C-alpha cells in the first residue's frame, strides 16, 4: 500500500506542483486571465503526455540508416555527454548522452569501423581550457580501443564547428564512408550541419528518451522532469531554426 501510494502522490513533492497551484489560485482570487494562461501553458508542457510527444517528434525527424553489415571508414561521435565542471583526467562524470560514445566504442571494437572520430571541445560560455574529446579518448582507450584508431576534434564548441572540424579530419585521412552517432533528438540538426559541409554520413541515432507506451493518469500529472524534456524540445527546435536561418545547416 505504501509503495503504491508513494508512486501516486509523488507529484506532491515536486516544486512545480505548487507553482501551478499558486497560478491557479491567483486566477480564482484575482480573475486575471494571465494567471489562467500561465497555468494552462505550464501545466501542458510539464505533463509527460505532452513532453513525450514533443521529444518523440524530434527523435523521428531523421531515422536510422546505419547498415549492420557495412564496414565504415569512420564512426563520428559528437560530444555533449560530459560534465566538464566536475570531470578530471582520472574520473569522468557522464551525463545522460553517454550512449553516444558507448555506441562508437562498440562499433570500433566489433571491427565495423576503421577509425573512431570524437568531436567536442568545450561548449561552455566561460572557457576553462578543457576538451571533452580528450577525456573521451582516455575513456575509449581504457575500454580497449587502439590509440592509433582514434581521431580527435578538440576545439569545436557547437554542432556547427563539430561538422567543420570533422570534415577537415575526414579529408586529411581520406575517409569517405562514415556513420554519424548522436542523440536521436539532436540528429536532424547534426545531420544538417554535416550535409552543409559536404559530408553525407549514414545515421545511427542513440539515447532515445521518448518511449511508446499506453498513457495512464500519471501522464497528465505535472512534473519537473517532464518540463525538462519540454525545455529540451524548445532548445533543440530553436537551434534547428537558427542554424537553418544562418546557413549553418542544410536540411533539404
Asked if 81 contacts 95 with a C-beta cutoff of 8 angstroms, the reply is: yes
Q: How many other C-beta atoms lie within 10 A of the C-beta of residue 126?
A: 5
For 31-47, write each residue's pLDDT tens digit: 677 777 777 888 898 99
d(CA 79, CA 136): 9
Q: Which of the 8 DSSP states describes residue 98?
A: T
Name the pTM for this structure.
0.87
Q: Where are the beta strands (DSSP E) in 30-177?
A: 72-78, 113-119, 150-153
Question: Can you give the pLDDT at residue 2?
Answer: 43
- The grid coordinates of residue 214 equal 499506453
pLDDT value at residue 3: 46
| Cell numbers at 92, concatenated | 569522468
Compute the C-alpha angle 105/111/114, nearest 5°: 80
The three grid cell numbers given for residue 96, joined into one nine-digit string: 545522460
Q: CA–CA separation, 29 vs 32, rounded Å?
A: 8
Cell of residue 209, nine digits: 528518451
Q: What's the number of CA atoms in the CB half-sphere (13 Å) around residue 17?
A: 9
CATH class of 46-209+218-252: alpha beta
Task: Give the chain's count of helices (H) and strands (E).
Answer: 9, 5
Q: Domain residues of the chain, as ranges? A: 46-209+218-252
The rounded distance, in Å, linking the Cα atoms of 56 and 212 is 9
- Is residue 25 very low, low, confident or very high in pLDDT (cuts 50, 70, 90)? confident
Q: Are 185 and 209 in contact, with CB atoms under 8 Å apart?
A: yes
By CB atoms closer than 10 A (0-12, 13-18, 19+), residue 107 is buried
In this predicted model, what pLDDT tens digit does every residue of 214-247 receive, in sequence order? 778 889 888 888 989 999 999 999 999 999 999 9
Q: Which of 42-46, 62-66, 176-180 has the lowest mean pLDDT?
A: 42-46
- Predicted confidence (pLDDT) per residue in 192-205, tens digit: 999 999 999 999 99
Amino acid at each position: 500500500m505504501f509503495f503504491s501510494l508513494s508512486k501516486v502522490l509523488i507529484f506532491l513533492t515536486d516544486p512545480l506542483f505548487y507553482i501551478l497551484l499558486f497560478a491557479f489560485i491567483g486566477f480564482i482570487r484575482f480573475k486575471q486571465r494571465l494567471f489562467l494562461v500561465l497555468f494552462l501553458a505550464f501545466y501542458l508542457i510539464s505533463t509527460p503526455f505532452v513532453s513525450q510527444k514533443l521529444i518523440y517528434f524530434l527523435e523521428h525527424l531523421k531515422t536510422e540508416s546505419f547498415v549492420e553489415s557495412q564496414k565504415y571508414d569512420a564512426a563520428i561521435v559528437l560530444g555533449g555527454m560530459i560534465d566538464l565542471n566536475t570531470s578530471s583526467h582520472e574520473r569522468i562524470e557522464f551525463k545522460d548522452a553517454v550512449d553516444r560514445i558507448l555506441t562508437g566504442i562498440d562499433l570500433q571494437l566489433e571491427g565495423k569501423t576503421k577509425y573512431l572520430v570524437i568531436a567536442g571541445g568545450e561548449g561552455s560560455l566561460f572557457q576553462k581550457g578543457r576538451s571533452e574529446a580528450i577525456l573521451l579518448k582516455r575513456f575509449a582507450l581504457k575500454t580497449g580501443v587502439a590509440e592509433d584508431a582514434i581521431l580527435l576534434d578538440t576545439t569545436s564548441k557547437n554542432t556547427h564547428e563539430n561538422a567543420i572540424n570533422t570534415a577537415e579530419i575526414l579529408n586529411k585521412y581520406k575517409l569517405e564512408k562514415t556513420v554519424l552517432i548522436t542523440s536521436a533528438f539532436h540528429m536532424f540538426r547534426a545531420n544538417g550541419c554535416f550535409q552543409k559541409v559536404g559530408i553525407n554520413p549514414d545515421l545511427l541515432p542513440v539515447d532515445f528518451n521518448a518511449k511508446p507506451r499506453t498513457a495512464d493518469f500519471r501522464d497528465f500529472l505535472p512534473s519537473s522532469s517532464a518540463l525538462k524534456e519540454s525545455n529540451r524540445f524548445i532548445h533543440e527546435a530553436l537551434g534547428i531554426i537558427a542554424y537553418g536561418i544562418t546557413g549553418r545547416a542544410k536540411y533539404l
